[in-house]
């Protein structure tokens, strides 16, 4: 099964999600850019998913197995290579006390190396040093013994003088209590006459006794150690100075100093330690120097002065110099790599370059590349030298396209041209317009512009000129492209014209719209735009701009606000020309026009009607959707989903229920917002009659009575203009109540009314004038 689910570009990969303790086999398959898959690699064999644990281990230089002897004032170091899984913790102790970083004691531990450096050693720095390594698998200790040699203390007094004669005497003293950490080899006796202040001593010019083998030089493999031991003598003890190639020594160099010797030591040598090491001894009697040549056999150093030359659109040429340090062996060949600036890993170009130059081909045009070069000798591949900045594969642009004359006057000519088909792999920085007056053979730069148009000024009226245009980038100039015909500097007047293909355009809502209208005219016309009779407001969505030969209207993410009639006007000194363009925005319609009319209500149906939307969305409304909602509920239900007309009778409603209705318009682009009706109660279209008037006995006999009463009161009375209106009502109450008649909340004018009162009824008779009043 797959262990990686993305393309693995490098040649290493970390597999995650394994089960602890389980065993796995692994293999790798290569796949190229066209999808061809290689055969699998050999099986890795079963590998258990377990954290490896290994107790701490160490390795030290054999010299540390014996006591390390240093002179006071010198620098010494203690180090060990450290191993273990997981990496062990490192601690240093001296005489059972943990060491800390100080100015003189520098602790430089890394994951795989334990190191301390003690500077300006004193007697107290001598003693037992312990390195302790600890991890989960165990611990390990390493012992180091250091002895610091210092000058001895003064001899113990008093100084006894015996056997005095005319030419000699015998001196007796005791040895010093402190021998400075080393056996006292001899004593120095000085004398002075009592009449003199200075003591005299025997003086010796420094001498170096360099071993004959050291004079031949030292050859060591990389990783080995260098020891240069130089015995000397001199009185007084000379000052000692070591240099390398007349410069400073590296930090890892350790110097030792004794009474009659000095030693230079370097561990873990590499190519940088090759060179000439010189020791100089100097005292008051003179100075002497000797040198020892050291050659470290290693891989070469980095090549020098890598530069890129002859850059093309798909190739570059690299040039460099051999490394200063060849690693003690002849350079066999050079390795050249490349890396795209967007990638992290280098890809090899060649491993067999025998010269100090190489042409890199098949580069991606316009891509940015880094390059590096490494030298190889018999000991391996050396350090790389890399280009500091990315280089682009590019060359000069191709020539510009067609060159056109867009305007000409007595003193100027306006040109426009097409961009080159290819920029040479590097961005075009600008264009040069060159001019040649008739009768001369010299071209001169007349204008330098950034865009594909320009104006040449300073022409002489009536003079004939040739023009040509060149593009240039960071690599140089293209070949020129010449205007097809010569130009005479004269004023031209041509009335403007706008070449429209159509006058109506439809744009879907949310889409972009771009209309380019070619312009002709001399002098070059001025262009203005308007919309629906008003100057066009330019926004971030709606913009207009000019090219040398056209005007462009551009609308981004069109919406219904862009619907309307656009007018473009071209004006020059001859006349003005106008063209109208209608732009239709195709969108879902606006809501139907309200209010919703209620035409009829019955005990189980309602008839409604509405008007079409004011905005149809640029196309015909297909149909309407009518929905209803019981006002006691929140959900809407579709009554009819495809109503072709603007009216509908809604049936099967509940008698006495209150409903609200809404209408939605729909076209091919979507549905409108709804138009809501007022609430409507479904009920019979009439009311129960009111109570009849109070019955009364019109006549009576012994065996019968005639009873009469008035009809129930009608809340609406319809009369014709000019008729009298009689409104009557039965009145009851004791005492008889006061009567007041109001019309629309106001007391009626007495002139327009005539009242007639009986015991049991009050009758209002409104005469002709009232019937003629407006309700």
pLDDT category of residue 684 using cuts at 50, 70 and 90: confident
Query: Which is it for the CA torsion 270, 273, 275, 281, positive or negative?
Result: negative
Q: Is the pLDDT of residue 739 over 70?
A: yes
In CATH terms, is domain 402-489 a member of 2.60.40.10? yes
Question: In terms of CATH architecture, what is 597-682?
Answer: Sandwich (2.60)
Mean pLDDT across the chain, nearest whole number? Answer: 87
196-204 long-range CB contacts below 8 Å, 24 or more apart?
201/235, 201/236, 202/235, 203/235, 203/236, 203/284, 203/285, 204/233, 204/234, 204/235, 204/285
Beta bridge partners of 220: 296
Contact predicate 289/278, CB 8 Å: yes
Architecture of domain 495-586: Sandwich (2.60)
Distance CA(523)–CA(525), nearest Å, equals 6
205-297 and 495-586 share one fold: yes
Query: Which two three-digit tokens encode residue 512?
Result: 């972009």
HSE-up (13 A, CA, CB side) for residue 568: 25
pLDDT band at 509 (very low <50, low <70, confident <90, very high): very high
Tell me the per-residue pLDDT of 292-334, one tens digit each, with 9 for 90 and over.
999 999 999 999 999 988 878 788 899 999 999 899 899 999 9
**Residue 111 and residue 699: Cα distance in Å, rounded?**
135
Phi/psi at 677 (nearest 5 deg)? -90, 170
List, for residues 60-80, the tens digit of each pLDDT value.
988 888 889 888 888 999 999
The CA distance from 435 to 635, in Å, is 79
Sort strands 576-586 and 593-601 into parallel, antiparallel or unpaired.
unpaired
Kindly state the average pLDDT of the residues 765-773.
45
Are 148 and 125 a contacting pair, CB within 8 Å?
yes
Do the Cβ atoms of 454 and 433 come closer than 8 Å?
Answer: yes
Q: With respect to CATH, is domain 205-297 assigned 2.60.40.10?
A: yes
What gap in Å lies between CA 228 and CA 264, rounded to an integer?
A: 5
pLDDT band for position 761 (50/70/90)? Answer: very low
CATH of domain 307-393: 2.60.40.10
How does residue 423 score in pLDDT terms, banded at 50, 70 and 90?
confident
State the fold for domain 55-149. Immunoglobulin-like (2.60.40)
The tokens for 449 are 């512009």
Q: Highest-confidence range of 94-103, 174-183, 350-359, 765-774, by mean pLDDT? A: 350-359
Return the half-sphere exposure (C-beta side, CA atoms, 13 A cut-off) of residue 387.
Answer: 23
Give domain limits for the chain: 55-149, 205-297, 307-393, 402-489, 495-586, 597-682
- Indicate whether this model's pTM tops 0.75: no
Residues in the chain: 775
């Amino acid at each position: 099964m797959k262990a990686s689910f993305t393309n693995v570009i490098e040649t290493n990969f970390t597999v995650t999600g394994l089960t602890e303790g389980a065993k796995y086999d692994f293999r790798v398959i290569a796949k190229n850019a066209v999808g061809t898959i290689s055969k699998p690699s050999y099986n890795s064999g079963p590998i258990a998913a377990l954290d490896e644990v290994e107790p701490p281990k160490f390795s030290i230089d054999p010299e540390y197995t014996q006591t390390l002897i240093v002179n006071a004032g010198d620098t010494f170091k203690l180090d060990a290579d450290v191993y273990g899984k997981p990496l062990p913790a490192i601690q240093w102790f001296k005489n059972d006390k943990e060491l800390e970083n100080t100015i003189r004691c520098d602790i430089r531990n890394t994951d795989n190396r334990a190191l301390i450096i003690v500077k300006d050693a004193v007697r107290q720095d001598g003693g037992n040093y312990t390195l302790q390594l600890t991890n989960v698998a165990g611990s390990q200790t390493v012992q180091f013994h250091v002895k610091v040699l210092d000058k001895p203390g003064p001899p113990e007094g008093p100084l006894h003088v015996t056997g005095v004669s005319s030419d000699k005497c015998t001196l007796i003293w005791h040895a010093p209590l402190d021998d400075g950490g080393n056996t006292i080899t001899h004593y120095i006796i000085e004398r002075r006459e009592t009449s003199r202040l200075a003591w005299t001593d025997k003086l010796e010019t420094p001498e170096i006794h360099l071993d004959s083998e050291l004079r031949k030089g030292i050859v060591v493999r990389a990783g080995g150690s260098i020891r240069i031991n130089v015995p000397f003598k001199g009185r007084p003890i000379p000052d000692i100075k070591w240099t390398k190639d007349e410069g400073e020594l590296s930090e890892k160099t350790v110097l030792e100093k004794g009474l009659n010797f000095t030693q230079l030591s370097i561990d873990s040598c590499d190519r940088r330690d090759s060179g000439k090491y010189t020791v100089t001894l100097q005292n008051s009697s003179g100075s002497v120097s000797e040198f020892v040549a050291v050659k470290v056999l290693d891989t070469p150093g980095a090549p020098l002065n890598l530069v890129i030359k002859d850059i093309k659109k798909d190739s570059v040429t690299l040039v460099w110099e051999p490394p200063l340090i060849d690693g003690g062996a002849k350079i066999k060949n050079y390795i050249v790599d490349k890396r795209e600036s967007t990638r992290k890993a280098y890809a090899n170009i060649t491993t067999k370059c025998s010269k100090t130059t190489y042409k890199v081909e098949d580069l991606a045009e316009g891509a940015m590349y880094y390059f590096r070069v490494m030298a190889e000798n018999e000991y391996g591949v050396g350090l790389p030298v890399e280009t500091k900045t990315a280089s682009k594969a590019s060359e000069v642009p191709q020539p510009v396209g067609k060159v056109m004359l867009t305007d000409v006057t007595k003193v100027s000519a306006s040109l426009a041209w097409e961009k080159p088909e290819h920029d040479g792999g590097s961005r075009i920085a600008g264009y040069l317009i060159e001019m040649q007056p008739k009768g001369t053979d010299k071209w001169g730069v007349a204008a330098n512009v950034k865009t594909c148009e320009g104006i040449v000024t300073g022409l002489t009226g009536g003079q004939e000129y040739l023009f040509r245009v060149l593009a240039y980038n960071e690599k140089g100039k293209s070949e020129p492209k010449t205007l097809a015909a010569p130009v005479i500097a004269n004023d031209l007047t041509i009335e403007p014209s706008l070449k429209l293909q159509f006058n109506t355009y439809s744009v879907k809502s949310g889409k972009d719209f771009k209309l380019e209208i070619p312009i002709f005219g001399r002098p070059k016309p001025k262009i203005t735009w308007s919309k629906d009779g008003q100057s066009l407001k330019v926004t971030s969505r709606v913009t207009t701009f000019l090219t040398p030969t056209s005007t462009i209207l551009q609308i981004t993410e069109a919406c219904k606000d862009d619907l309307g009639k656009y007018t473009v006007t071209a004006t020059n000194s001859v006349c003005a020309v106008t063209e109208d363009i209608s732009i239709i925005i195709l969108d879902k319609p606006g809501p139907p026009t309200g209010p919703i009319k209620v035409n009829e209500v019955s005990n189980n149906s309602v008839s409604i009607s509405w008007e079409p939307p004011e905005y149809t969305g640029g196309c015909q409304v297909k149909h309407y959707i009518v929905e209803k909602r019981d006002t006691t509920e929140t959900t809407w239900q579709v009554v009819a989903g495809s109503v072709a007309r603007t009216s509908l009778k809604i049936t099967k409603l509940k008698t006495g229920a209150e409903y609200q209705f809404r209408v939605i318009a729909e076209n091919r682009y979507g549905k409108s917002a709804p138009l809501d009706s007022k609430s409507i109660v479904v009920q019979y279209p009439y009311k129960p009659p009111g109570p009849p008037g109070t019955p009364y006995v019109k006549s009576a006999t012994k065996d019968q009575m005639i009873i009469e009463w008035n009809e129930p009161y009608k809340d609406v009375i319809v009369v014709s203009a000019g008729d009298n209106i009689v409104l009557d009502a039965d009145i009851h109450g004791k005492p008889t109540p006061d009567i007041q008649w109001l019309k629309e909340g106001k007391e009626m004018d007495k002139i327009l009314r005539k009242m007639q009162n009986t015991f049991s009824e009050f009758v209002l008779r409104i005469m002709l004038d009232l019937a003629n009043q407006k309700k």
